[in-house]
Amino acid sequence: MSVWKLVKLNFGNNPAHFGELGIGMEETSDRVRSDSLFSAWVSNYARMFGKDAVEKLLQLFPTKEHPELIPPLRISSTFIYREVEKDGNKNTIYYLPRPLKFPINYPDDDLAFFKTYKKLNYLPLKIWQRWYQGQGFTEDDKNELENHREDKPEGKLATAETFNYKKACKTHQLPKIGIDRVTTATNLYHTGFVHFASGDGSDKNTAGLYFLVELSPEGEKLADKLQAALHLLGEEGIGGERSSGAGRFTAQWLDLPKIWQEVVNFKGGKFHTLISLFWDSNLQPDFLNNSSYEIQERGGWIVESQIRRQMVRMFSEGSVFTSSLLGKLVNVKPKEFTKHEIYRSGISLTLPINTKEEKDNDNCC
């Protein structure tokens, strides 16, 4: 029997730089994907407990050579949460990626509101659960999306903070000077940083990132060590520009709130939607039948060298499949790098959902 945990990352006033392939230093993502989180977490696990301990940990995960193994932990990508105060009560809003299939009861005549719907890349958990595990899309939802005004949002979707995802953080660019080590020539460049709402000023609402963890019985035995490594990661920082103090956080390791227990234990789902990246070397030809998915290229540099890791293509969060696979670690060590193996995590984490009737599911949304 596996155990689920929810981990909240509070960045306080610390900025962060989360790079993505192809966006350059001047831009930053607002979150960290599961493979990057896994790599950073395991690296700090190695720093705390040594080479033998981390090799023993990695040997527990399924790979191309050992697909039969059950991973000790499966993690989602990080997503935004907001602590919103209304009428003296503080409520936590967890955002999830909108699955790439239309929700239950989604109407065919959507031209009047489809542009507004399309912009909802992330949904509050309350709305996500209703649309994909509950009664589904309603006539009130349709009317609210048709008449939505950013300056005066009204209705159940607005009350659930559906349209306020961008209030969680702000991004800015910071000018920096690079100095050539040989010629001492200087070069001006800009780096993008994201700041999560910290409750300063007139807006007392706060925000940060969260992710889900599913621990196997073997993973539960390692929980204390994993938490210690995560604490060290918080002190060191996650993402880029850590030498400037970016990416530092404090972590809360929590039991699942009631609504999350309902979501992960939902039994009526015919589909599975990814909340992590996913890679597998042995997909059957029919796996993609009736699926809706996007592909994300993952690359980057090896930390201790100026050599790039091998590129790997993974299914991205929000992709929807008719079945759920565990995924595997993929070895991305380039031939010219000989110090040790380098793994990226394609271990998947999914949630069960229902979608609009199959005969209508001709298009990815």
**Cα 283 to Cα 100, 208, 271, 287, 294, distances in angstroms:** 20, 35, 17, 6, 16
State the Cα–Cα distance between residues 320 and 350, nearest whole angstrom: 9
SS3 content of the chain, % helix, strand, coil (to 5): 25, 30, 45
The total of other beta-carbon atoms located within 10 Å of residue 245's CB is 10
**Cα 128 to Cα 116, 160, 197, distances in angstroms:** 16, 11, 23
pLDDT of residue 363: 46
Place of tokens 């050599």: 307
Distance of CA 66 to the CA centre of its chain: 26
From first to last of its 365 residues, the chain has per-residue pLDDT tens of: 899 999 999 999 999 999 876 565 667 899 999 999 999 999 999 999 999 999 999 999 998 888 899 999 999 999 999 999 887 788 999 999 999 999 999 999 999 999 999 999 999 999 999 999 999 999 999 999 999 988 788 899 999 999 999 999 999 888 777 787 788 787 876 788 999 998 876 678 999 999 999 999 999 999 999 999 999 999 999 998 888 889 999 999 999 999 999 999 999 899 999 999 999 988 888 889 999 999 999 877 666 667 777 889 999 999 999 999 999 999 888 877 767 778 899 999 999 999 997 544 444 55
pLDDT of residue 361: 45
> What are phi and psi for residue 328, nearest 5 degrees?
-145, 160
Which sequence spans correspond to the domains of the chain?
3-78+168-353
pLDDT of residue 245: 85
Q: Are 246 and 13 in contact (CB under 8 A)?
A: no
pLDDT of residue 300: 74
pLDDT of residue 360: 44
| Most distant pair of Cα atoms in the chain: their distance | 66
Q: Are 35 and 310 in contact (CB under 8 A)?
A: no
Place of tokens 């493979």: 35
pTM of the model: 0.91
Topology of the domain comprising 3-78+168-353: Alpha-Beta Plaits (3.30.70)
pLDDT of residue 185: 82
Q: Are 56 and 72 in contact (CB under 8 A)?
A: no
pLDDT of residue 25: 63
Q: Are 263 and 254 in contact (CB under 8 A)?
A: no
pLDDT of residue 69: 92
> What are phi and psi for residue 4, nearest 5 degrees?
-100, 145
Closest to 293 measured CA to CA, from 63, 97, 41? 97
Strand partners for 96: 123
